[in-house]
Amino acid sequence: MAVLVTGGAGFIGSHTVDLLVENGIEVVVVDDLSSGKPENLEHDVLLYKLDIRSGEVRRCFVEHEIDAVLHLAAQVSVEKSLREPKIDMEINLGGTLNLLELCRKYDVEKFVFASSVAVYGEPKYLPVNERHELSPLSPYGCSKLASEFYLKLYSKLYGLHTVSLRYANVYGPRQRDDEEGGVVAIFLRRALLDEPLVIYGDGNQTRDFVFVRDVARANLLALEKNVKSGEFNIATSRETSINRLVEILERVLGKNLKLVHERPRKEIRRSCYDFSLAKRELGWEPTVDLEEGIKLTLQWFRKLLNLNTTKSNAG
């Protein structure tokens, strides 16, 4: 099997590439390196530096016999999607459609799409399952949902096997700690640099944190399992408040952290997602709990900061 992984040099993509290669799967990576990094790729894989909207992506299908596409490349910032909705749409929906058309033309068998729990919007009940109404609250959520509908359409019209994986709050090594990153990465870096952690509101808002290597395994299973189409939550079904996250960080780091409280932002108050369908159909369930995942992520951040310090001193 040859798999084209878009966004393969990025956070989730690089962990997925690692797992695919370790399982003997031939991998071709497409990444424009706007956020991904070649050094994230631990294995010797072919990397095409291309924008997923470009007609040049066709080269991958001409030069390789692609059996499946794992589409992880995206504009992932909700805040950026609110500022620049057109760009969000062009990358997330336009890029997806470009790839779907190439899959149709070159008889690709399967298309696995990195969607998001953002397609649900404000939860009406917890844990949210796949039957929950779809009412996104941002252009980002809209572009992910529209892409899901295109996947369903291509499945019906052309027989392409399509799977959408709705990721919860993914965290782990190699995650960015800027606007496009997640709260775990942002908090860990600030804690290691002895900077205050910014908490918006009372800190009782909850999230469903899922470790990146568990997500990579979900991607692999979605490729391997004989599932012709469907949408699946990739989550832990556990609520963790921001205050609880801080407690775990303090225990792992062995110190009290500086905290700054700012005015609450307009955001979902509580979130938690049911993964039972993924367990039943894909054989997937999370295996890394939050504290263990934070310890693994902490190790990576410590190495990263030491490396940066060494480079700075060397200069």
Could you report the per-residue pLDDT of 7-26, keeping only the tens digit for each?
Answer: 999 999 999 999 999 999 99
3-state SS class at 289:
coil
- Residue 2's nearest CA partner among 46, 49, 54 is 46
Query: How many whole angstroms separate alpha carbon 122 and alpha carbon 134?
Result: 9
Give me the pLDDT at residue 311, please: 41
- What's the whole-number mean pLDDT along residues 244-263? 97
Query: How many whole angstroms separate alpha carbon 302 and alpha carbon 210?
Result: 21
- What's the whole-number mean pLDDT along residues 36-46? 95
- Residue 211's nearest CA partner among 240, 191, 247 is 240
Q: Which pLDDT band, with edges at 50, 70 and 90, does 179 fall under?
A: low
Asked if the model's pLDDT at residue 70 lies above 90, the reply is yes
Tell me whether residue 140 is one of the annotated catalytic residues.
yes
At residue 88's C-alpha, the angle toward residues 265 and 150, to 5°, is: 115
Which one of the listed residues 48, 120, 125, 140 is annotated catalytic? 140
- Residue 222's nearest CA partner among 128, 113, 118 is 113
Q: Which pLDDT band, with edges at 50, 70 and 90, does 228 fall under?
A: confident
Proportion of the chain in helix, strand, coil states, percent, rounded to 5? 45, 20, 35
Q: Which pLDDT band, with edges at 50, 70 and 90, does 180 fall under?
A: low
Could you report the per-residue pLDDT of 134-159, keeping only the tens digit for each?
Answer: 999 999 999 999 999 999 999 999 99
Give me the pLDDT at residue 310, please: 41
- Residue 120's nearest CA partner among 235, 251, 255 is 235
User: Average model confidence (pLDDT) for the chain?
Assistant: 95
Q: Lowest-confidence range among 165-174, 194-203, 305-314? A: 305-314
Give me the pLDDT at residue 1, please: 87
Question: Two tokens at 98?
Answer: 């470009």
Asked if the model's pLDDT at residue 307 lies above 60, the reply is no
Asked if the model's pLDDT at residue 315 lies above 50, the reply is no
Q: Give the count of alpha carbons within 13 A of 158, CB side only.
A: 20
Strand ranges of the sheet holding 26-30, from the earlier edge strand across to the other edge: 46-48, 26-30, 2-6, 68-71, 110-116, 161-167, 229-234
Strand partners, 232: 165
What domains does the chain contain, in order, with CATH numbers?
2-169+211-235+273-287 (3.40.50.720)
Q: Which pLDDT band, with edges at 50, 70 and 90, does 309 fall under?
A: very low
8 A C-beta contact, residue 220 and residue 163: no
Query: How many whole angstroms separate alpha carbon 16 and alpha carbon 6?
Result: 11
Asked if the model's pLDDT at residue 314 lies above 50, the reply is no
Asked if the model's pLDDT at residue 308 lies above 70, the reply is no
- Residue 211's nearest CA partner among 300, 124, 277 is 300
Burial label for 272, CB within 10 Å (0-12, 13-18, 19+), is: buried
- What's the whole-number mean pLDDT along residues 98-127? 98
- What's the whole-number mean pLDDT along residues 68-88? 97
Q: At what angle do helices 242-253 and 183-192 cross, to 10 degrees?
A: 40
3-state SS class at 249:
helix
Query: How many whole angstroms separate alpha carbon 163 and alpha carbon 289?
Result: 25
Asked if the model's pLDDT at residue 269 lies above 70, the reply is yes
Torsional class of 121: left (φ above 0), alpha (ψ -120 to 50), beta (otherwise):
left
The structure's pTM equals: 0.95
Residue 4 phi, psi dihedral angles, 5° rounding: -90, 120
